[in-house]
Chains A and B, each alone.
Chain A
């Protein structure tokens, strides 16, 4: 069995794990990060995209609010190109009477969040679709964030600092030594989910950054960690109804945030305790609630074209907590298992939110340093990740580049303006096992047609790329290092991708060798997110997509049913109503 020895083993490739790997590598540790699927496949890739100003927690949870505003300022420097500087409104709708707005203003002042009341007329001029019955509007420095890109570039920064990143590597066991009371975690047994090979990673310290899955990982060392998986449902509207983040000015509740992110507006979220973080079923009432609440912010929202619904699972943690997940704290939770459970060499970092991922990493590594008896200060707050020179993201970015470089003829995904070279570069420079990985990399299939026109193109292009790699340089494929270059700072830039070397693929990722499997799995994954909102204009779209894939391509008979990729199990979950809720399991 292959063995790796490292200082720090990070489990989990979401924003927190990426942040920990980055932080640890910058402090000079040897780092290995393992993630059982693609980066951001879990909660990080399923959130609404809000860069919090802290306003949301100013009244309810001042500690979280302070963390948010401080991290908001830092991330704008370190991850500039992953952020859109949309600004944010807190609006008082007719239902939000009472003294909350005043408490909100006072709360923001106390924790240091810049907050200004905007005259109603000015607010409606900036956001013409806002509910005209709103009585007050406060502006705070909210933003929207691309959590896919942010995590990828954080990992790139970690790699540049020496970290080794293993995606599609699932932890199957924790290595422990010693007996009760003096136990120690010394690493993990890890399985490559594509090849099935196992690997042992020995580490001085293992950090459990697996978010909603943290309980399952800790259980491998018989440590009880009760994460409260709080499922949140989000619904995307086909185009940006607003260009400013809109929050309800009231105690945080369901469906009170509308976030313009890339080309869509996302309304979120619900908060339901679930039994299993993998069970992400979306119930009709959840979608209906989001639309009804959305109408209070933007009247008519429920009648506009709804693109998709999805769910993420918050990794909430509160020691000995038994209440509703909505009321559980959003603060980060760092569990020192030596102190708590008498198990050394093992830390769990969970809770928190995307906005505070860097801080979570910092606190975790501070604790790690203390346990390892070294004094190495955190450097992430002063270290921009690759690509920040591009400045803030703006929604016209891709269109502008496609236009100035005249790349209109190279579009693969027309909805989201993904060019052929973007797709090829992402596939070649990034570990790619499924088309869904490329979706997270370059937004393939995320627009109105939900993969209708790009899936067959992308599968064909990848096949061509694979053939080209084999034909032009038969030895090249074997000779290339197994770990691809992974330069992703400009992954979303059409201009940048066109100036790159022609792409070739790394060896040994079998599902890529099966275009029919790529095709089927991606279509099924897209379909899964459309089914909860299958009416009106999106239904028309799906009818056309159905005609293309079932009518013309007869795709439902390809490939053989027992062929599977790591994406297959994702869309094959039990989707019967009620499945996965805590009561039924």
Chain B
């Protein structure tokens, strides 16, 4: 990586007019002095970094959570979060990486490993003693909301098992499930498949890799490149055939669309084809709706559902399509969170030195949910790690909006988190 280049991320430092809007919106620097703010660690510090620097002059950039609120508010288009990610990668290249960050970066591997014996893995990882040891030895915060492995098989198992029952159609969509749906929350994938099929689409679930985001945000660009290369190889064929690649994890789709090619400087034809064909599921469904092809045969859902559009969803810059489509469900009341971030920011809040920062950042969101009163049964959010954080912060179950849609179609049980038919 050459920190001095015409790379669009590096070059964007020249757009900074020092206005401090990013600093005043940054949810992290608002709660801790350990992070001096996006302007400081981004376009400002970048002028003091050099290509062949023997040591990296700064370290506070490591406290950037990567939530991208700075990018969202920057009036001149500085790619601050990406600049920070690249600076962190340079730090990692010079100073190495703790085992913890290597581990947290390898979602796909962890998912696979735990899924051999998920009950055992859950016990091994989630008992108080292991969490205590994980904190002491590796620095993974003992209270942090780590996911549990699915004990009813992976999403892949379910796809194989139900192959015969799947809809066949001329209209096809390629589903990118990502690691969380594969190993921890297969029900999200089931809900998505149900919604696709209800709208007349055949779902193709191809072999795929982790999108690489956990590696990117921990500064391991080399390993992330391998994953993205893998996905380009496995998915670009579908994109060339004109099929949309649609995902339920809003951060995974953002990575395929933007983060990976931009941070890793992968702008070849294949990577670009994949990038252009990738959609967040609600972005895609909303286009369907605009074309008049989205089914709205919803049942009444008389409840109050606080919705949080997570940072990674907002970074798609497509508005809030999940909110727009859920609003079509009769009698569903949708108070909208304007909180900047839930705090977790992928793997940020898992780290012992950042756990409390993440909780303090999340307080804005937790307070919003609690202010909705006691008659709230669920919250909704598009991102898995945010839902886990939200559940950790307010003690209420949280659902992906696709689960809400599937339930409103009568295809899904929100409490059991399973298809009503299967």
Contact = CB atoms under 8 A, between A and B. Distances in A.
B58 A541 contact: no
B30 to A, nearest CB: 14
A396 B4 contact: no
A298 to B, nearest CB: 10
Interface stretch (A72-80, A220-228, A240-248): A240-248
B18 interface: yes
Contact of A304 (B11, B17, B49, B53): B11
B17 A449 contact: yes
A129 B6 contact: yes
Interface of B is mostly: loop
Given A403-B58, A414-B18, A541-B17, A243 B51 contact: yes
Contact of A403 (B18, B51, B57, B76): B57
A400 B58 contact: yes
Contacts of A409: 33, 36
Interface string B7-50: 00001011111111000000000000100100110001111111
A544 B17 contact: yes
A447 B16 CA distance: 11
Given A414-B39, A449-B17, A408 B60 contact: yes
B50 A239 contact: no
A369 interface: no
Contacts, number: 98
B15 A537 contact: yes
Contacts of A263: 47-48
Interface string A228-242: 000000000011111
B52 interface: yes
Nearest to B60: A403
Nearest to B29: A408
Contacts of A304: 11, 14
A126 interface: yes
A126 B51 contact: yes
Nearest to B19: A544
A400 B57 contact: yes
Interface residues of A, number: 37
B59 interface: yes
B5 interface: yes
Given A408-B40, A541-B17, A541-B18, A239 B60 contact: no
B18 A417 contact: no
Contacts of A452: 18
Contacts of A243: 4, 50-52
Contacts of B53: 394, 396
B63 to A, nearest CB: 11
Nearest to A402: B58
Interface in A379-400: 394-400
A486 B52 CA distance: 35
Contacts of A239: 4, 13-14, 46-47
Interface string A511-541: 0000000000000000000000000010011
Interface in B294-319: none
For A128, A398, A447, A452, the residue with the greatest tally of chain B CB atoms inside 10 Å of its CB is A128
A285 B17 CA distance: 27
A305 B14 contact: yes
B2 interface: yes
B18 A449 contact: yes
B14 A238 contact: yes
Contact of B48 (A128, A300, A395): A395
For B33, B40, B56, the residue with the greatest tally of chain A CB atoms inside 10 Å of its CB is B40
A460 B120 CA distance: 64
B50 A300 contact: no
A448 interface: yes
Interface string A446-488: 0111001100000000000000000000000000000000000
B17 A540 contact: yes
Given A239-B47, A396-B53, A415-B18, A129 B60 contact: no
Nearest to A407: B36
Given A300-B6, A408-B40, A409-B33, A399 B57 contact: yes
A353 B416 CA distance: 81
For B33, B39, B57, the residue with the greatest tally of chain A CB atoms inside 10 Å of its CB is B57
B36 A408 contact: yes
A414 B36 CA distance: 11
A447 to B, nearest CB: 7
A395 B36 contact: no
A108 to B, nearest CB: 24
A453 B48 contact: no
Contact of B47 (A397, A447, A537): A447
A126 B33 CA distance: 36
B112 to A, nearest CB: 38
Nearest to A543: B17
A400 B60 CA distance: 10
Contacts of B36: 408-409
Contact of A398 (B5, B6, B17, B48): B48
Nearest to A237: B14
Nearest to B34: A406
Given A128-B4, A409-B33, A544-B17, A396 B50 contact: yes
A414 B49 CA distance: 15
Contacts of A411: 40
Interface in A392-443: 394-400, 403, 406, 408-409, 411, 414-415, 417
Contact of B44 (A126, A240, A415): A415
A126 B58 CA distance: 22
Nearest to A406: B33
A408 B36 CA distance: 6
B31 to A, nearest CB: 15
A165 to B, nearest CB: 32
Contacts of A540: 17, 76
A126 B5 contact: no
Contacts of B51: 126, 128, 243
A448 B40 contact: no
Contacts of B57: 396-397, 399-400, 403
B108 to A, nearest CB: 32
A243 B52 CA distance: 9
A541 B18 CA distance: 8
29 contacts: A126-B51, A128-B51, A238-B14, A239-B4, A243-B51, A263-B47, A304-B11, A394-B50, A394-B53, A395-B50, A396-B48, A396-B57, A398-B48, A400-B58, A406-B33, A408-B40, A409-B33, A409-B36, A414-B18, A414-B44, A447-B47, A449-B18, A453-B18, A453-B20, A537-B17, A540-B17, A541-B17, A541-B18, A544-B19
Given A243-B50, A448-B17, 10 more contacts: A238-B14, A263-B48, A396-B50, A398-B48, A399-B49, A400-B58, A415-B47, A448-B18, A449-B17, A541-B18
Going nearest first, the 3 A-B pairs with the smallest beta carbon separation are A396-B57, A305-B14, A408-B36
